[in-house]
Amino acid sequence: MIASWLAVAVNLALNWVLIFGKLGAPAMGVRGAALATVIARFAEMGVNVLWSHRHKNQVLFTRRMLEGAPMSLELFWDITRRSLPLTANEALWCVGTATLTQIYSTRGITVMASLNIAYVLFDVFTAVAFSLGSAIGIIVGQLLGAGLTEQAVDTDRKLLALEVAMAAAIGVVMAGLSWLFPLFYNTTGEVRQLATRIICVMAVILPFECLANGCYFTMRCGGRTMVTFLFDSCFTWAVNVPAAWLLAHRTGLGILAVYALSTATVLIKDVVGVMLVRKRYWVNVLSGESAGRAGDA
């Protein structure tokens, strides 16, 4: 968390310095923004690496990694087969998100400007809500590793409810600021108005996005990485992207309706995710000694 805060602070400060040429630095514009992002990421990595190195007794995995402990072929294959779907999922999800943006961009430069404004507010306000998904992976994963399957199921249910409730509260705040935030941008009234409406759509759909996010991390913490691959990036490419393309290119709907309907496909994802979570397919103990108790689930 400290490393993430540092990355944000460094990125913000260097953006001001390098984009506008402050403190004697050259005004680099977009190149300065790119450089600031890279430097911030290296700073984040440096904090993580140094802290882990100095606290090896608290981070046992890192201690063995730094000591160069040998890894058995069986363990290597187990890690590889579980991590490859996650790696592929992240890559395909990123490309899918970029594809969606490209589809929306076909409706004009005004749409892109409005989306950029809306995404800034969305990213800021949803950081807490979406981070609860990571918390689900950590907390529930620890319980599964200890063989406490019933406690893991109960905790997961409560954390999912908390994430959705928090997302609903954040959505209310987002909607309340939807008219104010675009005013900070030097742009046209048309762009501001569309950005306000897009932010309101984001606010409404946020609880459903967070429910899908929580279900994703629930299945992921149980090691069901292939299922998470199908649930996340495959859904994006099989449902979300085609829906957005059809709405944008084969209907006369306005961009607000196109965006709202394409993002509403997350409701399908929610139904599938809740079904998988309730059937407890994700309850899978990965640790060695506790794995024998997995059958209790």
Same domain as 59, residue 109: no
> Does residue 99 share a domain with residue 62?
no
pLDDT in tens, 21-36: 999 889 999 899 999 9
Indicate whether 149 and 288 sit together in one domain: yes
Do 28 and 100 lie in one domain? The reply is no
User: What gap in Å lies between CA 13 and CA 7, rounded to an integer?
Assistant: 10
Please tell me whether residues 161 and 213 are part of one structural domain. yes
Domain boundary among 70, 100, 127: 70
Domains of the chain: total: 2
Task: Please enumerate in sequence order all residues whose Cβ is within 8 A of that of 47, keeping only pairs 6 or more positions apart, or say none.
Answer: 2, 3, 6
Q: Does the residue 274 lie in any domain? A: yes
Judge whether 77 lies within some domain: no
In a domain, 81, yes or no: no
pLDDT at 207: 95
What is the H or E stretch that residue 175 is in?
helix 149-177
> Mean pLDDT by 10-residue block, N- to C-terminus, for the chain (297 residues)?
88 92 90 94 93 80 66 80 85 92 92 92 82 87 86 92 93 93 91 95 95 91 83 92 95 94 95 91 63 40
Question: Is 45 a domain residue?
Answer: yes
The answer to whether residue 106 sits within a structural domain is yes
Range of the domain at 268: 88-296
Residues 175 and 31 in one domain: no
pLDDT recorded at residue 213: 92
| HEC letters along 190-232 | HHHHHHHHHHHHHHHHHHHHHHHHHHHHHHHHCCCHHHHHHHH
Q: Which two tokens stand for residue 272?
A: 């599938």
Q: How many C-beta neighbours within 10 Å does residue 107 have?
A: 18
Nearest 5°: the CA angle 116, 168, 115 is 10
Asked, for residue 75, whether it belongs to a domain, the answer is no
Q: Are residues 39 and 11 located together in one domain of the fold?
A: yes
* 96 and 63 within one domain: no
| 212: its two tokens | 């899908």
Is the CB of residue 214 less than 8 Å from the CB of residue 163?
yes
> Are both 110 and 163 inside the same structural domain?
yes
Clarify whether residues 253 and 133 are in a common domain.
yes
Per-residue pLDDT at 224: 80
- Alpha-carbon distance of 15 to 28, in angstroms, equals 10
The reply to whether 208 falls in a domain is: yes
Side-chain-side CA neighbours of residue 169 (13 Å): 8
Query: What is the model's pLDDT at position 286?
Result: 58
